[in-house]
Chains A and B, each alone.
Chain A
Amino acid sequence: MDLAGLAVGWYLALSVALFAIGGAGLLVRRNPLVMFMCVELMLNAVNVAFVALGAGLNDVGGQVAVFFVLVVAATEVVIGLALVVAINRRRSGATADDVSLLKG
């Protein structure tokens, strides 16, 4: 258990690092494409945590949750890329801040 615990700790550290990098990227970058990549990074950081904890606690639920996250990520990418294409058709080279006109 000690060995597994040590290994899980490292995996979790990796997950936190990836999540932080993704989050920071999401907040500082203005290119929508890059922002989506950051979101993907955050989702996958969570996946790492799920898998690590699933293995460490010997619970298959962790792996199952990953499948759900993958499905959500896939749909999110589909919608996100559609948005990116739509924005680029209208105004090429636009940033995420340029579409603030949609506010209520």
Chain B
Amino acid sequence: MIEAAWLICAFPLAGFAVLLALGRRLGEPRAGWLATAAMAGSFVTSVAVFFSLMGRDPAERRFVVTLFEWIPAGDFSVDAGLLVDPLSVTMALFVTGVGALIHLYAIGYMHGDGDFSKFFVYLNLFAFSMLVLVLGDSLALTFLGWEGVGVCSYLLISFWFTDEANATAGKKAFITNRVGDWGFMLAMFWAFGALGSVRYLDLFGQAGSLSSTTATAIVILLFVGAAGKSAQLPLHIWLPDAMAGPTPVSALIHAATMVTAGVYLMVRVNPLIAVADAWAPDVIAWVGVATALFAAGAAMAQNDIKKVLAYSTISQLGYMMLAVGTGAYVAAIFHMVTHAFFKALLFLGSGSVIHALDGDQDMRRYGALRAAMPVTAVTFIVGWLAIAGVPPFAGFWSKDEILAYAWDASPALWLVGIVTAVLTAFYMSRLVFMTFYGEARHSSDAHPHEPSRLMTAPLVMLAAAAVVAGGLNLPFTKDLHFMGAWLEPSLFGNEAHLGLGGGAQWLLALVSMAGAAIGIAGAAAVYLQHRLPASRVELPAAARAFYVDEAWTRFVGGPGRRAFEGVAAFDANVVDGAVDGVGRSVRAGGAVLRRVQSGFVRSYALLTAAGAVALLVWFLVRTSF
């Protein structure tokens, strides 16, 4: 069954190919059903592979399925192969599972759009790229998927490209990600230079022979790539703008799957992090926790419902990076899975709300939607409780595990993390209260209504997952740590060991529950009971996301632009000069030499004779001395 792992990638690719050729003819809704069926097939295959992997001894749960020779170039040879191990199968499971639900939802959401079939062409191409990224057995193949998801992200953000702002947002996402790709590529070159291979298993097998400096450089460069894809400071600027895309795209790409690729990459290369200097994981942890706090702060003052969720996603990705930096790889993946469930749920719920209010995304014009949209409201509230860290919903378990490891690594990390948790509870409660509670503020000609079954069914399924997903990895006893045991073969024993006793863990959990309660109560005081004007908590600096965008604009527009003009001048004068100079010197030399060709046959004969004599003299001289 494991040999059939290629089917996981093949289903969306086939869906993409068929839709590309016949999409318009299939039309709505058949194109959407075909795309969804492709994802469902991929999910079923993933489940089958999962069970056949489960049926094996834990030590033997790692397979490379080589498909074909991809890049044969001298010493450098890359095979297209799939690395099937617990980590990649976990990723494939939730990518295809959540992906299939979002495809289903999109059939309803994109109803009536003129480019209905094109949307699903892109979605299936995205799913294929993401699965290549996840299942690829080498950095090169992961990079192929990495770029593929980047392209699809660009295409889908600017899906409604006739609006200039959407096209600009797509470009911004693509260009910001180039910075990260630069890091990824350098890391790949460096790894090949040091070890002569980019295959994961080769890299991991020989990681011990790397000098710690080389390993540190590779890890930091990979982290630059991960920071670009997973929207970490200061490369996060593209993600809030990426909300210009249709909401299913935001849910699938910019919340559940693509943005977690950076975290996946860092978890995947854990043997390299283990060899690197100690400051490398510290950098990852601190960047992660700083991103978490920063984005939670920015989310406090956003009025666009999707912008709140976008900053929330950045913040949660910061938590995952914190987990990677503290060696809590299982917690990172655990939080990634639970986050995929509840954040996809929240995005799809916001999509239903936006859908019901004719495309209005401003929460100041929402309110009291609970009665009109009961299913959306209930499922959204489940997602809210999950992300706010209320037990027993999924987010509580995963976030708490991360915070426990953070405390173990450094109480300062934990402190920033718990403050972020309070802010998270606050801004998510603010969103829920402004949207579903209070008085109705939407215009009288808007008639909010529950969307079709097609759209509510995925909400219900994701809500169910957001309730129970915590059970994947319960902290009480070692036997309940299912995910930890399952992921063990992929982590090569590099998982940090939690030094906390049961009592300390309970205490931390209580503090974190109290934090969630404080955040929710604070939001209730401001937005339900109006004890404090909202303007006191919605700081202008937070609304502008602390001016990071403006700083980038200044930097790139000022010194950055001048520097690149310098580079362009160097190119025009030195590089082009060298190329043109070769041509020019040949022409000048020809102009001189052509005078020899006079047309007089006898002068040619004379030159030939002189040449013969010169040769003769040379031979004589050579033989006599």
Task: Provide the B564-602 mask, 1 if CB < 8 A to any CB of A, else 0.
Answer: 000000000000000000000000000000100111111
From 80 to 104 in chain A, residues with beta carbon under 8 angstroms from any chain B beta carbon are 96-97, 99-104
User: B597 — which chain A residues lie within 8 A by C-beta?
Assistant: 103-104
User: B594 — which chain A residues lie within 8 A by C-beta?
Assistant: 104
From 50 to 104 in chain A, residues with beta carbon under 8 angstroms from any chain B beta carbon are 96-97, 99-104
Interface size on B, residues (CB 8 A): 10
> Given A23-B609, A27-B609 in contact, is the A96-B602 Cβ separation under 8 Å?
yes
Interface residue? B606 (CB, 8 A): yes
- In whole angstroms, what is the CA distance A97 to B603 when docked? 10
- In whole angstroms, what is the CA distance A2 to B600 when docked? 47
Interface residue? B59 (CB, 8 A): no
Q: Is the interface of A mostly helix, strand, loop or mixed?
A: helix
Interface size on A, residues (CB 8 A): 13
Contact present for B605 and A26 (CB under 8 Å)? yes
Interface residue? A49 (CB, 8 A): no
Shortest Cβ distance from B253 into chain A, in angstroms? Answer: 64
Task: Provide the B102-122 mask, 1 if CB < 8 A to any CB of A, else 0.
Answer: 000000000000000000000
- In whole angstroms, what is the CA distance A104 to B599 when docked? 8
User: A41 — which chain B residues lie within 8 A by C-beta?
Assistant: none
CB-based A-B contact count at 8 angstroms: 29
Contact present for B599 and A102 (CB under 8 Å)? yes
| In the complex, residue of chain A having the shortest beta-carbon distance to the beta carbon of B606 | A27
Contact present for B599 and A26 (CB under 8 Å)? no
Shortest Cβ distance from B512 into chain A, in angstroms? Answer: 88
User: A100 — which chain B residues lie within 8 A by C-beta?
Assistant: 598-601
- In whole angstroms, what is the CA distance A99 to B600 when docked? 8
User: A27 — which chain B residues lie within 8 A by C-beta?
Assistant: 602, 605-606, 609
Shortest Cβ distance from A20 into chain B, in angstroms? Answer: 10
User: B599 — which chain A residues lie within 8 A by C-beta?
Assistant: 99-103
From 7 to 47 in chain A, residues with beta carbon under 8 angstroms from any chain B beta carbon are 23, 26-27, 30, 35
Known A27-B602, A100-B601; 15 more pairs at CB < 8 Å: A23-B609, A26-B602, A26-B605, A27-B606, A30-B602, A35-B601, A35-B602, A96-B600, A97-B600, A97-B601, A97-B602, A99-B601, A100-B600, A102-B599, A103-B598
Q: Pull 24 A–B residue pairs with CB atoms less than 8 Å apart, ordered by A.
A: A23-B609, A26-B605, A27-B606, A27-B609, A30-B602, A35-B601, A35-B602, A96-B600, A96-B601, A96-B602, A97-B600, A97-B602, A99-B599, A99-B601, A100-B598, A100-B599, A100-B600, A100-B601, A101-B599, A102-B599, A103-B598, A103-B599, A104-B594, A104-B597
**What is B's interface to A at a CB cutoff of 8 Å?**
594, 597-602, 605-606, 609
In the A-B complex, list the 7 residue pairs whose CB atoms are closest, starting with the nearest. A103-B599, A100-B599, A96-B601, A100-B600, A26-B605, A104-B597, A103-B597
**What is A's interface to B at a CB cutoff of 8 Å?**
23, 26-27, 30, 35, 96-97, 99-104
